[in-house]
Amino acid sequence: MKTTSRPQILFTPRRIRKRIREMVARIEADHRGEELVLIAVLKGSVLFLADLVRAFSRQLAFDFIGVSSYGASRSSLGVVTLEKEISSDIRGKSVLLVDDILDTGRTLGWIREHLRRFGPKQVRICVLLEKQRPRVIEVKADYAGFVIPDAFVYGYGLDFEDKFRHLPYIACLREGEAPPALRARGKPRLPRIFAPWKRSKGDR
Ligand code: PRP
């Protein structure tokens, strides 16, 4: 597998932050007067959730759910199993299901059905990325940050072989490519503008 020399960045930290603020403004307007619980899907949504909740100016609660998908990821034969149950009481509350990416729809479709048994008032779906491809399970995001082509993306929670989730940006790979190597010690080899410890004034 060929390692790329530089990341092909789709969304910079600044663009992600701006989009999150816009999304939260809509979510707040749609949930006025309702008790709101965000349920984030482990592990990919963790960075998104952390930035999302900090953009709210109203009360909310959040919790996590963990699932595993077995079988071919691009086929309806894949089976979703529960790995970590929610620990909050969501009966009668508005639930916002938060995930990093909507792809086949199997994960969010399964979780949405699973949560209904706890009697929430409603379950809405919020994803940072929505892949432009036919869904295997019919799922529509109520809030979607960016629509992307059917490419492999990593960073900002999304993994490549369970690594690279910590990157502050979202990058994409072509078929047969691997992300650029990060240094074994010290700072990752990233473009200067994306190095948080050297953040320029304009990138706030
Ligand atoms: C990824 C992603 C979504 C799901 C989307 O999770 O975080 O939850 O796949 O794909 P789908 O729409 O085809 O179901 P993954 O199973 O890779 O686990 P992770 O969040 O731990 O990376």
**Given a cut of 60, is residue 76 above it in pLDDT?**
no
Query: Is residue 96 a contact partner of residue 63, using CB atoms and an 8 Å limit?
Result: no
Percent of residues, the chain, with pLDDT higher than 90: 76
Residue with tokens 């959730």: 49
* Ligand 1 center to 106 CA (angstroms): 9
Confidence of residue 70 (pLDDT cuts 50, 70, 90): confident
Provide the token pair at 65. Answer: 């759910």
* Ligand 1 center to 44 CA (angstroms): 7
| Residue of the CA atom closest to atom 13 of ligand 1 | 104
Question: Taking residues 39-55, what's their average pLDDT?
Answer: 98
Task: Supply the pLDDT for residue 69.
Answer: 84
Question: Which listed residue (103, 150, 159, 162) is catalytic?
Answer: 103
Rounded CA separation 201/34 (Å): 37
Over the chain, what is the mean pLDDT? 89
* Interval 21-40: pLDDT, tens: 999 999 999 999 999 999 99
* Ligand 1 center to 155 CA (angstroms): 13
**DSSP E strands, 22-76:** 36-42, 61-70
149: helix, strand or coil: coil
Report the nearest atom of ligand 1 relative to the CA of 131. Answer: 12
Query: Is residue 99 a contact partner of residue 44, using CB atoms and an 8 Å limit?
Result: yes
- How many beta carbons lie within 10 A of that of residue 175, not counting itself? 6
> Ligand 1 pocket: which of 39, 99, 163 to mutate (most atoms <8 Å of CB)?
99
* Ligand 1 center to 188 CA (angstroms): 25
| Residue of the CA atom closest to atom 15 of ligand 1 | 44
Which carries the bigger pLDDT value, residue 2 or residue 152? 152
Burial classification of residue 47, based on how many CB atoms lie within 10 Å of its CB (0-12 exposed, 13-18 middle, 19 or more buried): buried
Pocket of ligand 1 (CB under 6 A): 41, 43-44, 69, 73, 99-107, 159
Confidence of residue 184 (pLDDT cuts 50, 70, 90): low
63 is catalytic: no
- Cβ neighbors of 97 (< 8 A, separation 6 or more) are 39, 41, 108, 111, 112, 115, 123, 124, 125, 126
Rounded CA separation 165/45 (Å): 10
Query: Is residue 129 a contact partner of residue 156, using CB atoms and an 8 Å limit?
Result: no
Which carries the bigger pLDDT value, residue 1 or residue 201? 1
Amino acid at 191: P
